[in-house]
Amino acid sequence: MKSRKDSFETLGGIPIPDVPLKESMPAEPGHPGAPPYTRGVHETMYRSRLWTMRQYAGFSSAKDTNLRFHSLLDNGQSGLSIAFDLPTQLGMDSDDQLSYGEVGRVGVAIDSIVDMRNLLNGIPLDKVSTSMTINSPAIILLALYVAVAEEQGVPCSKLRGTVQNDILKEYIARGTHVFPPEPSMRLTTDLIQYCNENIPMWNTVSISGYHMREAGSTAVEEVAFTLSNALEYVDSALKTGLNIDDFAPRLSFFFGCHNDFFEEISKFRAARKLWYDLVTERYNPTNPKSAMLRFHTQTAGVTLTAQQPLNNIARVSYQAMSAVLGGTQSLHTNSFDEAIGLPTEKSVTIALRTQQILASETGLSDVVDPLAGSYYVEKLTETIASDARDLICEIDAMGGSLEALKTGFQQRRIHESAWKQMQDIESLERQIVGVNYAEMDDSVTTTPQALNPAIHDEQGKQLSDLRDSRDSDMATSCLDRIREAAASDQNLFPLILAAVKANCTVGEIMNSMKDVFGTWNAPSGF
């Protein structure tokens, strides 16, 4: 909310006209379900199929998380979204000395096929779509998922879901990268190749702007950096011999939804149009789905406040409404107490109910792109698309996303945007209810969920038992084969799948690749 005394602009700094006029509108954006998809990827949108309500969950042990998954499914959730703890995100086992204090804290600990079995126990993998937010060891976690599905008797052809597998944004915004950029890109394309041949309904990369937005980027930067990364993945996959239509239809995107209501709606519409334009201009696909941007949305965690936490229910509701009006394919709504700690069962249920109310009671799902024709929304859509394209061209001139991030270009831009937003808040140019405006003395009205302090020891014992009971010669042989293949151009996925079935751990597999690839620190941008 801007002060009434200031000039009016979006959160990203785009000027807002005094009175939007018809003369400022761009050309007719077309029809829903038709190129350039500005108005949505489906002709009837939510009339024929609602967005997937995919609540992100994962904490403590695999067994505890499995109970949460069953609760969410029983309450009407239509897809799973798995959060992994930090050691798993970095490809480290729970008994690694660097894992101490982090096991099960920000997600579920997955060390081996034993954990994956416990995580997915009783969940019909041929009926549920699963999203896994994992990047550096994405190829290992997907192999574990496939191995458990095979144990359940579910063929790969029936598996549906997404693995994030977006390593470029890790170098830019999150920092859970392990290997240098080139080997990381090789693992990404190995996964794309394997899924193209064996898991046809799996989304192989979820190119994410969410984390860059959480780090402080503007809406334009979120679109530009996300699509620039996507172009890098496309170019890398094409170099392996794949055709654009072999894999582009299975690419998906992941955006955040911030507080600026109209800017966010316009951002989603602009991203669809811009992706269509870029793909058709550069790659000339024959399958219309290759240029169709499908995306998941998560409401903005960075906007949640520990002060007056119940206010976050309103924030999340408006952000979710923006995502739906913008045409998202799936949605996660944050819980109101996430600025305090792990969400409780009560807050998670409220977050899910928020989506269900939007879908069932507001009438939003009955109208396809209801803001089409709005002078302001159409002009803002055009502005975001144009500004994002200019930024993508600037990155192209540096040699593409991968080369630009090596110089810290994207990182530096995000730091500058985050700094401006912080200055606006501290100077009261931008008001945050409960933080620098409408403050009040109140005690926290919610008690966060407590972590199980014994999880570290439990995971360590499980790993010890696993290593004692497995065929050690077979495990060693599998790891040796991975090392040999890593030094060649052989696809690593089948070898990793064999390794997880032989009870090799996530950390052991990652370390075997580290022996060949090494590690790498991304520049901070300063």
| Among 296-310, 318-332, 430-444, 507-521, the least confident range | 430-444
Q: What's the mean pLDDT when you consider all of the chain?
A: 93
pLDDT at position 56: 72
Q: Give the integer Cα–Cα distance in Å for 292 and 282.
A: 14
Residue 240 binned pLDDT confidence (cut-offs 50, 70, 90): very high
What integer is the mean pLDDT of 196-214? 95
Residue 525 binned pLDDT confidence (cut-offs 50, 70, 90): low
pLDDT at position 343: 85
Q: Which residue's entry shows tokens 């005690």?
A: 443
pLDDT at position 5: 47
What is the domain partition of the chain in residue ranges?
A: 22-30+45-426
Phi, psi of 145 (to 5 degrees): -60, -45
- Chain centre distance of CA 243: 25
E strand or H helix at 203 = strand 202-203
Query: How much is the pTM?
Result: 0.91
Residue 6 binned pLDDT confidence (cut-offs 50, 70, 90): low
User: What is the distance between the terminal CA atoms of the chain, rounded to a whole angstrom?
Assistant: 30
Q: What residues contact residue 418 under an 8 Å CB cut-off, 6+ apart?
A: 215, 216, 217
pLDDT at position 93: 98
pLDDT at position 425: 92
pLDDT at position 345: 83
pLDDT tens string 81-118? 898 999 999 999 999 999 999 999 889 999 999 999 99
CATH of domain 22-30+45-426: 3.20.20.240
pLDDT at position 43: 93
> Is residue 3 over pLDDT 60?
no
pLDDT tens string 404-458? 999 999 999 999 999 999 999 999 989 999 899 898 876 556 676 667 778 999 9
pLDDT at position 2: 46
Residue 241 binned pLDDT confidence (cut-offs 50, 70, 90): very high
What integer is the mean pLDDT of 173-194? 95
pLDDT tens string 457-484? 999 999 999 999 999 999 999 999 999 9
- Bridge partners of 80, per DSSP, are 55, 130
**Residue of 134, 143, 58 lying closest to 348 (CA atoms):** 58
Give burial (CB, 10 Å; 0-12/13-18/19+) of 33. middle
> Is residue 351 over pLDDT 50?
yes
pLDDT tens string 25-58? 787 788 999 999 999 999 999 999 999 887 776 7
pLDDT at position 24: 76
> Is residue 342 over pLDDT 80?
no
E strand or H helix at 131 = strand 129-133
b (16+ CB within 10 A) / e for 177-207: bbbbbebbbbbbbbbbbbbbebbeebbbbbb
pLDDT at position 391: 98
Q: Give the integer Cα–Cα distance in Å for 52 and 33.
A: 18
